[in-house]
Chain A
Amino acid sequence: MAKQSIYQNEIENLEQSKDFLKKSEYSKIELQMEFKKLVENYEELIDQVKIITKISDRLQRKLNKTNDALESSNIQLNDLNNQLNETIDQLTEAKIGRRAGTIVMIIVISLFIVSEVFIEPIIDDAFPDNFWVGLGLKLVVAILIKPGEDFTNKYMLKQARKKQLAESKAKEAAQPPKPKKRRAF
């Protein structure tokens, strides 16, 4: 066990002193020599304990400081991430709003053409003296433009958010943490 310890030398010194104590007889000189050696070893061990404890405490402080800095960076990173997400959301909403407006406009133009070409002649035949019916139909189409645009907008936004969520999850899973690079001499 002693051979595998970081205190290998110190344990060996202690064992030597213990062996000395097992002797049945020893002279005053031998005793003095052994005691002197023991005191010297003890003094060296105390010096080592003092310095190792001091260094260990200091490096613990460094570790704590690094942890605090890491925590603060995480908070900043989260804030920036939230800001970025908000901006992306706003941009996505604006982009989708424009696209929804275009889609609704195409539908309205198509409905107008269909009504003018196909429905209007039928209405004219059915109600030859009442132009209000044709006008009413066009009014209904006009009233439906805004709710139609809102519905299309909401639907497209929901789909875009689902897609974004799936993409960010895939990115998180693919990125391993980067180790810090140490500067060379």
Chain B
Amino acid sequence: MKPAPFSYYRTRSVPETVARLAELGDGAKILAGGQSLVPMMNFRLARPDALVDVTRIPGLEYLRAGPDGLRIGALTRHRTVELCRDPVVLDGFGLLPRAARWIGHYPIRARGTFGGSIAHADPAAEWCLLAVLLEANVVLAGPAGARTVPVSDFFEGFYTTTAEPDEMITELHFPRAARHAALTEFAQRQGDFAVVAAAVSVDLGVAGPPRPGAACRSVRVVLGGVGPLPFVVDTGALGGQPAAAATWRAAGELAAAQIDPPADGHGGPAYRRRLAATLVERALTEAAAAP
């Protein structure tokens, strides 16, 4: 469990990083917290020729809420999101600090970065699920300047994205608030990767818990741990349904019926489908009750 040989560079700015990446070519990886990359290197599952450490670049750690939504700097620590109490952020994006608590353990949250997690593209990772749920945009810097990519065009599969080897994520942009939203997951131990994770939002048209007889305008459900990408459940059938327990249960069954999850040490496909149904129902119950 010692990494294969590699060279190490530390950069101080985004342009310097892009130039360094262009010079190093395909074999280089960005080190942006290292909470996934370094263990993979120690297992020799990842063998980058070079690491470009971007964690000392100033100015990339922020959460900024404004009229066009929420912008999160790529080097924002998970822990910073977790501790965020800015009322402007919490108003509409309170899901993010709540969801941060599901990420690993405290040392991981203190070191791991938002942009690093998106770049790593683990399909069960909390930020990846929320980026899909909330239809975020990824802002990338490359030799030709900045470009913005919707996450639907960013994640390609397990740990793979459409970012070029000489590009660096600088920011995540969440254009739309989601007041009634929740993320829940199940793992046998606190802090483990989710066996299945469910990120959901429901549009009730108004703030506060649903009044009796209220209907959902629309429901959005994204699952992690059931395939190579965050899985977006087709919830068209739920639009206009009552904002009530029976609908949340139906959403769970709908999700279970649509996925084709893998078998692994946690259980077979049938178990993961049951888990998905449970978690979607629970997440929607929580989401609807959000203030």
* A and B pair up: no
| B contact set with A: CB distance below 8 Å | none
Show the binding face of A for B, using Cβ within 8 Å. Answer: none
